[in-house]
């Protein structure tokens, strides 16, 4: 794990870590002399929850942030909070036939992953599944872009994505992969009940084995001249189509 992976950077990310995952926050660093009332609020929360707080020079924060926009607040974080693969079955079962799972097959840009997590939290997903290899880790950038979503929804990191999808099938979850060349359209697909939506990474899309494991492939209708959407945008379109269908029941 790189040094940056051990830090949560930015006001929203630090506040969210203190609110939702305080047991992993080891220390909060705030800009010395800064008058921002939100920094004072973070300091008050941290002290109330018995998390050490230090006021440090701006240069120190910039050195730790490594180019990320820290806004005067950084927290030292023990480890990213992800769920083990064995937790996924319980999460699906607890959804009582209405599980909505987002599966990201190799999203490597942390900004895209953070945006996907933020959208997933807004859509009320049951869990987000990511592979352990060839994918962005839940690091400081992801946590900042997600605006706290990385703390609010279960993120399940799996060793073998195809095996995980087969396990979901055994629980009665229908697996739909997003593919621009698919014959079936997203809006004509029944996304109620137990459903997992699988989106591929930047550039290559779904990997062959992932594609073959899906129950079906669907496309997002695009009457315009663009051939594809950014993965975070596609995630939003797909998840909120599922939300629309479920609320219409």
Q: What sign does the dihedral 170-215-234-162 (CA atoms) show?
A: positive
* pLDDT for res 2: 37
- For the segment(s) 85-248, the CATH number from 3.90.79.10, 3.30.360.10, 3.30.390.50, 3.40.1280.10 is 3.40.1280.10
130 is in an annotated binding site: no
138 is in an annotated binding site: no
User: Which tens digit of pLDDT belongs to each residue from 128-172?
Assistant: 999 988 888 887 678 778 877 877 899 999 999 999 999 999 999
* pLDDT for res 86: 85
Strand order through the sheet with 155-158: 155-158, 127-131, 100-105, 195-200, 174-178, 216-219, 184-185
191 is in an annotated binding site: no
Identical fold at 3-77 and 85-248?
no
Q: How far apart are CA 204 and CA 147, in angstroms?
A: 27
Domain range annotation of the chain = 3-77, 85-248
pLDDT < 70 stretches in the chain: 1-5, 79-82, 140, 225-227, 249
Q: How far apart are CA 213 and CA 14, in angstroms?
A: 38
Q: What are the CA-CA distances from residue 131 to residues 97, 128, 156, 160, 240 (Å)?
A: 24, 10, 8, 7, 23
Q: What are the CA-CA distances from residue 220 to residues 38, 195, 245 (Å)?
A: 40, 17, 15
User: Which tens digit of pLDDT belongs to each residue from 169-198?
Assistant: 999 999 999 998 899 999 999 999 999 999
Three-state SS for 173? coil
* pLDDT for res 123: 96
Q: How far apart are CA 73 and CA 230, in angstroms?
A: 30
* pLDDT for res 147: 78
* pLDDT for res 140: 66
In the CATH scheme, what is the homologous superfamily, with its name and number, of domain 3-77?
Answer: Ribosomal protein L30/S12 (3.30.1330.30)
């Amino acid at each position: 794990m790189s040094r940056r992976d051990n830090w949560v950077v930015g006001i929203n990310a630090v506040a969210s870590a203190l609110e939702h995952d305080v047991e992993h926050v080891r220390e909060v660093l705030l800009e010395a002399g800064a008058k921002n009332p939100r920094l004072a609020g973070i300091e008050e929360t941290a002290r109330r929850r018995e998390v050490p707080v230090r006021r440090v020079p701006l240069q120190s924060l910039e050195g730790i942030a490594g180019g990320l926009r820290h806004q005067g607040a950084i927290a030292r974080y023990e480890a990213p909070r992800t769920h083990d693969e064995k937790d996924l079955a319980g999460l699906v079962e607890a959804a009582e036939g209405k599980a909505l799972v987002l599966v990201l097959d190799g999203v490597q840009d942390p900004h895209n992953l953070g945006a996907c997590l933020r959208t997933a939290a807004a859509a009320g997903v049951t869990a987000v599944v990511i592979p352990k290899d060839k994918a962005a880790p839940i690091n400081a950038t992801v946590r900042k872009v997600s605006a706290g979503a990385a703390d609010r929804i279960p993120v399940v990191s799996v060793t073998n994505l195809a095996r995980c999808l087969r396990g979901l099938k055994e629980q009665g979850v229908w697996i739909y992969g997003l593919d621009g060349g698919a014959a079936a359209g997203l809006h004509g697909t029944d996304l109620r009940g137990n459903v997992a939506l699988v989106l591929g990474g930047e550039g290559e899309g779904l990997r062959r084995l992932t594609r073959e494991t899906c129950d079906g492939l669907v496309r997002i209708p695009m009457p315009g001249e663009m051939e594809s959407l950014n993965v975070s945008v596609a995630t939003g379109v797909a998840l909120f189509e599922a939300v629309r269908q479920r609320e219409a029941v």
